[in-house]
DNA sequence: CGTATAATGTTATGTTATAACATTTACAAG
DNA sequence: CTTGTAAATGTTATAACATAACATTATACG
């Protein structure tokens, strides 16, 4: 089970969940992925990954920077971006283009998975959506137009189940 | 017929098409939309719209700025962003989040249409994809997770039909 | 051990976007 | 036509996001 909030695999992260577990799970899996790919999860990369996993809300590069430098550090932006690049290259982190921010990958190790994201306008919580029908429809629609797909960004903004006023759907 | 390149409605803009016609069509339609919405397509807004329509390749705000200032103008970035905001609010222009760039809307006047984009990695040409099945699959997948959709970004990067090597699909 | 490669450190700068406030313009009510 | 007001524009400054270029240090492997 690879859910990001210990519920049903496709459940949206719940407000009160034990997030420490998300973080520790993520770090353990990241170690495993890096070991199997024979790449190094160095100190700074690990710290950036931890920062990204502080919550299910995407975090900006400069927010990560502030955190790392909170105790008087001298890390430079470049170093953060390099660590993020590494983490993205290895499928550990995703970039949310509409927010210029980054979020931990909920499906580490599943090579090359193309993710879709649900972004709550109210609480900021962002979850991955893995919908096979959606993926199929997308591939189909693109192919019909003679386009060769390379990569895709799907970011859906709205209200998560916990922020949706009752009665609405 | 609202195609962006005078072919089949869903055709990808062709390299050699008469683009002057795209531009003039777009400006005419924009006038109509603004008239019907009782908003003003002022000088700067019109010039920004023209700049956006110079091609089917998304253009950055600062590129627009350079163009407007080419003849010794003194327009400031803020003015460009304000014009772009107006054009987006009125459905005349779209923002491509993955490129931090802007492109003319191929479906002006169709209120609130949620667009998907095909972005060619080779020539940069970007076209709108209006796929009903894709839209349905997306709404369905999102609803299943109890999420209330508000807006969506779908940007697909790859090779357009004119840049796809023969034999591949 | 030494050397090649990967990773990190450092400085500077490029690029995208907005805040805040001043001025001008359009337009309608009196 | 003139005056109030809302919309639009002009202007300055700065915030926020990202990368280039080069120096230094660490790792690992022959």
Strand nucleotide closest to residue B100 (CA to C1'): C16
pLDDT of residue B1: 45
- The two beta strands, A101-104 and A93-96, are antiparallel
Whether pLDDT at A81 is above 60? yes
- Decide if B147 and A156 are in contact by the 8 Å CB cutoff: yes
Q: Which residues of A touch B143 (CB under 8 A)?
A: 169
**Distance separating alpha carbons of residues B152 and B156, to the nearest angstrom:** 13
Confidence band, pLDDT 50/70/90 cuts, at residue A3: very low
- Decide if A138 and B156 are in contact by the 8 Å CB cutoff: yes
pLDDT of residue B18: 97
List the helix and strand counts (H, then E) for chain A.
Answer: 5, 5
Classify residue B14 by its DSSP letter.
Answer: P
Nearest protein residue to D11's C1' (by CA)? B76
**Distance separating alpha carbons of residues A49 and A39, to the nearest angstrom:** 15
Phi, psi of B61 (to 5 degrees): -60, -35
What is the percent of chain B with per-residue pLDDT over 90, rounded to a whole number? 84
Whether pLDDT at B168 is above 70? no
Average pLDDT estimate for B84-105: 98
Average pLDDT, chain A: 92
Q: Which residues of A touch B152 (CB under 8 A)?
A: 154-157
A97 is near strand C: CB distance < 7 Å: no
User: Helices marked H in chain B — which ranges?
Assistant: 19-37, 43-52, 61-69, 77-89, 132-144
pLDDT of residue B113: 81
Whether pLDDT at A117 is above 50? yes
**Distance separating alpha carbons of residues A130 and B89, to the nearest angstrom:** 31
Residues A144-157 have pLDDT tens digits of 999 999 999 999 99
Domain edges within chain B: 19-158
Q: Which residues of B touch A120 (CB under 8 A)?
A: 147
A40 is near strand D: CB distance < 7 Å: yes
Q: Searching chain B, which residue's CA lies closest to the CA of residue A143?
A: B169
> Which among A97, A150, A152 is the nearest to B97, CB-wise?
A97
Confidence band, pLDDT 50/70/90 cuts, at residue B164: confident
Average pLDDT, chain B: 92
- Which of the following CATH numbers is that of domain A19-158: 3.40.50.300, 2.10.69.10, 1.10.260.40, 1.10.10.10? 1.10.10.10
């Amino acid at each position: 089970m690879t859910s990001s909030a210990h519920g049903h695999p496709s459940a949206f992260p719940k407000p009160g969940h034990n997030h420490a577990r998300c973080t520790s799970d993520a770090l353990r899996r990241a170690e495993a992925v890096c070991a199997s790919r024979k790449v190094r999860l160095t100190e700074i990369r690990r710290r950036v990954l931890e920062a990204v996993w502080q919550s299910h809300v995407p975090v900006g590069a400069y927010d990560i920077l502030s955190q790392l430098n909170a105790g008087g550090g001298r890390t430079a932006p470049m170093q953060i971006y390099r660590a993020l690049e590494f983490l993205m290259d290895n499928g550990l982190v995703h970039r949310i283009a509409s927010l210029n921010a980054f979020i931990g990958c909920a499906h580490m190790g599943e090579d090359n998975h193309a993710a879709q994201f649900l972004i709550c306008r109210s609480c900021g919580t962002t979850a991955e959506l893995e919908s096979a029908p959606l993926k199929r429809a997308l591939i189909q629609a693109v192919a019909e137009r003679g386009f060769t797909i390379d990569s895709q960004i799907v970011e859906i903004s709205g209200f998560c189940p916990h922020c949706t006023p009752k009665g609405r759907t």
